[in-house]
Amino acid sequence: MTAITTSVFELFKIGPGPSSSHTIGPMKAGYNFNRTVADLALEVQPDNIEIRLYGSLSATGEGHGTDRAVVAGLLGFKPDNVECDFLDSLADGNPHQFKSGVISLPLSVKDVVFAEVKNDFPYANTLLLRLRKGEEILFEQEYYSIGGGFIKWKGQQEEIPRVPPHQYSNMEELKAILTENELRMHQAILANETAISGISKDEVYEKLDVILDAMKEAVRNGLAAEGTLPGPIGLHRKAKRLFDNSVRPNCADSFLLRLNAYGFAASEENAAGHIVVTAPTSGSAGVIPAAVFALEEELGISRENVRQGMLVAAAIGFIAKHNASIAGAEVGCQGEIGVASAMAAGLIAYANGNRFWRTENAAESALEHHLGITCDPVGGYVQIPCIERNAMGVVRAYNAYLIASVENEKFHKVSFDEVVQAMAETGKDMNSKYKETSLGGLAVSVPNC
């Protein structure tokens, strides 16, 4: 299998919620189309743009804001520079001007077509973006949103990646590298990141600090907010109430209640379409931020240790993505909350000074106990069960760390690679109605809100 060459900052990305595959990926696709069109030499000038969404982009794209996201991308915005208020304003259907090269066309969410859910494209979540003159297609590009805000497109020329010094494709290979070179895990991932991204170690840590600060800001904003979330469900925020009640005198399990509050807080911000960090996806954007907030604000863990833990969390996410998937549309929520919980468990274990075998065991246990979890958002909104599931994910991560921190290494039976393989096989067997389409599970058993 090919070596992992993903950058830490491809996995952790700052952008608007509520879904990396439905918001950040489509926005990036739209922006890429805008830049591609600028270089075209068309003999006939187009008079309209057609946007076709397939798979769960079609099934739940309206609730996830996919139509607004792809239009914003086509208008030249990227996830890290778009204003949430502007995104929301696109819902009114009023036209804006698409400009690229010599082409200038009116564009609005009314140009979006929610096409077939079941399709024969290489990836379930596919976008077709077309320049048309009447019924004639002058140019089209086929994009795939593959989870975590990552995209591919048909005919894409693969970039020759920078060669990392420590080449691995799974956890066993990574551990062998650490043993052979007498390295700690964060050292190997840091060396790889400087090679892949072409920046210094200090710059890697500076960028990590931006990510960590954005995660904590999402938690703080969520803890301060009240009221109902957008959409027809009318779901009330819980984070502030959980946090406020955790500090009452004689409140049992106050730390656990606050840990839940942190998970709710960042996830509710994501559901509101506010700025979060994909970790590894937007739908799971509450798990790792909750762990980070607790580590630094509750447990007194230093920023240096948290940075190191984040590099290890990235490696865990890389391995899961490389050998299975982090997309709800591909493997269900086990690939989003499950992988986020594994990453958070590894982060907590490593930041607390544990070496790689306890870190791996914590990550393995967290993912193992998310196997088979479906992605079945009620109404297509990243609210039920997604928000509570983020809180459950960070609690499971902390519990996995506690168990791994005291267990006997000799008696741990399941490796991280084995549980990732199990997740991949489970995802293949999972019916498509449980993969972010809102056609099964809670999405149909919960009464229309």
> How many H helices and E strands in the chain?
19, 9
pLDDT tens digits, 104-161: 999 999 999 999 998 999 988 999 999 999 999 999 999 999 887 889 999 988 777 7
Q: In this structure, are residues 436 and 380 in contact, taking their beta carbons and an 8 Å threshold?
A: no
pLDDT at 449 over 60: no
Task: Tell me the backbone φ, ψ of residue 167, rounded to 5 degrees.
Answer: -95, 120
**Every domain of the chain and the residues it spans:** 18-153, 171-445
What are the Cα distances from residue 316, in Å, to 182, 197, 320?
Answer: 19, 19, 6
Pairwise CA distance, residues 187 & 341, whole Å = 22
pLDDT at 274 over 60: yes
Can you read off the two tokens belonging to residue 301?
């863990």
User: Would you state the pLDDT for residue 372?
Assistant: 97
Pairwise CA distance, residues 279 & 184, whole Å = 22
Give the residue-averaged pLDDT of 404-417.
93
pLDDT tens digits, 195-209: 999 999 999 999 999
Q: How would DSSP label each residue in 296-358? A: IIIS---HHHHHHHHHHHHHHHHHHHHHS---HHHH-GGGTHHHHHHHHHHHHHHHTT--HHH
What is the chain's mean pLDDT, rounded? Answer: 94
Pairwise CA distance, residues 240 & 221, whole Å = 10
C-beta neighbour count of 299 within 10 angstroms: 11
Give the residue-averaged pLDDT of 357-370.
97
Q: In this structure, are residues 261 and 223 in contact, taking their beta carbons and an 8 Å threshold?
A: yes
SS3 49: strand
Give the residue-averaged pLDDT of 411-434.
96
Q: In this structure, are residues 361 and 312 in contact, taking their beta carbons and an 8 Å threshold?
A: no
- Residue type for 107, please? L
User: Would you state the pLDDT for residue 85?
Assistant: 85
Position 215 confidence tier, pLDDT thresholds 50, 70, 90: very high
User: Would you state the pLDDT for residue 412?
Assistant: 92
Tell which wins on pLDDT, 356 or 343.
343
Position 80 confidence tier, pLDDT thresholds 50, 70, 90: confident
pLDDT tens digits, 23-75: 999 999 999 999 999 999 888 899 999 999 999 899 888 878 899 999 999 99
Which fold would CATH assign to domain 18-153? 60s Ribosomal Protein L30; Chain: A; (3.30.1330)
Position 1 confidence tier, pLDDT thresholds 50, 70, 90: confident
Give the residue-averaged pLDDT of 397-406.
97
- Which one-letter DSSP state was computed for residue 133? E
- Residue type for 375, please? C
User: Would you state the pLDDT for residue 250?
Assistant: 72
Compute the residue count for the chain.
Answer: 449
SS3 376: coil
User: Would you state the pLDDT for residue 406?
Assistant: 94
How many C-alpha atoms does 183 have within 13 Å on its Cβ side?
A: 19
Beta bridge partners of 443: none
Task: Compute CA 356 distance to the chain's CA centroid, rounded to the nearest angstrom.
Answer: 24
pLDDT > 70 fraction of the chain, expressed in percent and rounded: 99
pLDDT at 448 over 70: no
Q: How would DSSP label each residue in 134-159? A: TTEEEEEEEEEE-STT-EEETT----
Can you read off the two tokens belonging to residue 194?
């400087």
Query: Model pTM greater than 0.75?
Result: yes
pLDDT tens digits, 288-334: 999 999 999 999 999 999 999 999 999 999 999 999 999 998 999 99
Can you read off the two tokens belonging to residue 149?
């805000």
Task: Tell me the backbone φ, ψ of residue 275, rounded to 5 degrees.
Answer: -75, 125
Can you read off the two tokens belonging to residue 376?
């079945």
pLDDT at 283 over 90: yes
Closest CA to 378 of 228, 266, 270, 271: 271
User: Would you state the pLDDT for residue 71?
Assistant: 96
Q: Please give the span between the terminal C-alpha atoms of the chain, in angstroms, as a whole number.
A: 46
